[in-house]
Chain A
Amino acid sequence: MKRIVETELATMWLENDILFFVWKEQVAIDLSGAKKTVARRMLLQQGKPYRILCNINGVRHIEKEAWHYLSGEGAELVQELVLIAATPLERVFSKYISTRMRSAPIKVFPDMETARKYLLHSR
């Protein structure tokens, strides 16, 4: 029975040893929002690194300081980041994230299906 955690900006849950992370619709992420979301994720992970499946479809804007935070401190305990990029905007966000995140490997997939397949097949 998976427990779904809701925060102001995102929804997350653990399933099959993977952390599923979905940013909510039309979110604008500022530094304090990013910090709160990361803190909640830390609490969920309890010090254990996880592979994360992240859905960025709802993201509208990320403040510069929030970018810095999410790709540095905010990327702790991320074993691998799997992104779904279905729209041009998401593709660009994914490219942007890939160049900034230096602490974890990143894989980008065009839809949820291929992303899930990858995660289930490479445990």
Chain B
Amino acid sequence: MDSPENKKRLEDIYNQLVHIANGNFSYQIERTDKNDALEALTFLVNSTTEELRDAFLYQGFIKMPNSYEMVVQLYFELDGKGQIIKTNPTVDTLLHFKEGTLNGLPLSQLLEKSSQKGWKKLLKASPKDRIWELTLQLSLSEQSGLLLSSLFHIIYFPEYGNQLATFMMTSFDLVKKEETDQGFLQKKLKQQLQAHGLLPKPQKTDTHILRAVDLENLRKAKQHIMDNLDMPLPSIKELAHFCNTNEYKFKKGFKELFGMTAFQYQKHERLRKAHMLIEHSNKTILAIARTVGFKKGNHFAREFKKRYGYSPSVLRRLSK
């Protein structure tokens, strides 16, 4: 526990927890090859961060007030060899570098080991004479050693006239909205523009907001359906009761969270399970249909073909 390496690992865990405590879920702790207690903690803290991040990502998208709405953009401009020419101030803020200190550095120096490989390959193998673009997941090292992983969109501009070849890299991240004067002014400005018809007004649709406890109950309902595919679907009344809510809220909530009704979800899962059993086992198709809850073989075959475009027997034949 006292080695300098372990001290650093513990420090990383502290730093990550401080970020989480501040509502900042953008970072991940770098993993090592060890399997000791520190590594166990590292894994758990990283997993917790991801869970929190996903939960707030969802809330951010359903427009909860004062939540994590702001989209932050990272921007890098690199020369043809992959050295940083300029960055936007957010890069310095998120990676905790002093303004301007990144200029002149090769991007690979900022990248985590596994991302370095991918980036070096790209630099080497990519065409140098024409424009191209692609999207790539990269992990950057923040000043203290934590990792910031994001999907980057990379565009390469070849040399043209006086313009040297350049790379443009951008990425987005969902970060806690600061209730600063700037946020207040932005809100005011938005309202003004909407009043003058220059920005679309917010639609008065559902003000239905799913709270954390609702999310948990709906997931329980989904799991219950998944675990009992061979049984007929419980009535909406029963499912709503299972979720401690009313029928209207259950129907709306389920559809909003999972994108389909409970009935559609059950059918979806039944057919998925059947597909897997037909592909990977020797049970008869009729037996499989019964196992997943279809009473009639022809009904099953019809629904299967509707979903997958080929019949169960064709799949069986192809899987042998």
Contact = CB atoms under 8 A, between A and B. Distances in A.
Interface residues of A, number: 25
Given A76-B277, A92-B44, 17 more contacts: A42-B279, A46-B282, A47-B283, A57-B35, A60-B33, A61-B31, A64-B47, A72-B226, A73-B273, A88-B35, A88-B37, A88-B39, A89-B34, A89-B36, A91-B40, A92-B40, A103-B227
B280 A47 contact: yes
A60 B34 CA distance: 9
A73 B283 contact: no
Contact of A89 (B35, B47, B277, B280): B35
B304 to A, nearest CB: 17
A118 B266 CA distance: 37
Contacts of B37: 88
B198 interface: no
A4 interface: no
B88 interface: no
Contacts of B283: 47
Contacts of A107: none
B182 interface: no
A42 B281 contact: yes
A41 to B, nearest CB: 9
A73 B36 contact: no
Interface string A89-122: 1111100100000110000000000000000000
27 contacts: A26-B33, A39-B280, A42-B276, A42-B280, A47-B280, A47-B281, A60-B31, A60-B33, A64-B47, A64-B54, A72-B226, A73-B273, A76-B277, A87-B40, A88-B35, A88-B36, A88-B37, A88-B39, A90-B35, A91-B40, A92-B41, A92-B43, A96-B44, A96-B47, A102-B223, A102-B227, A103-B227
Interface of B: 31, 33-37, 39-41, 43-44, 47, 50, 54, 223, 226-227, 272-273, 276-277, 279-283
A51 B200 CA distance: 58
Contacts, number: 56
A89 B33 CA distance: 11
Contacts of B281: 42, 45-47, 77
B145 to A, nearest CB: 18
A64 B44 CA distance: 12
A26 to B, nearest CB: 7
A76 B31 contact: no
A1 interface: no
B276 to A, nearest CB: 7
Nearest to B34: A89
Contacts of B47: 64, 96
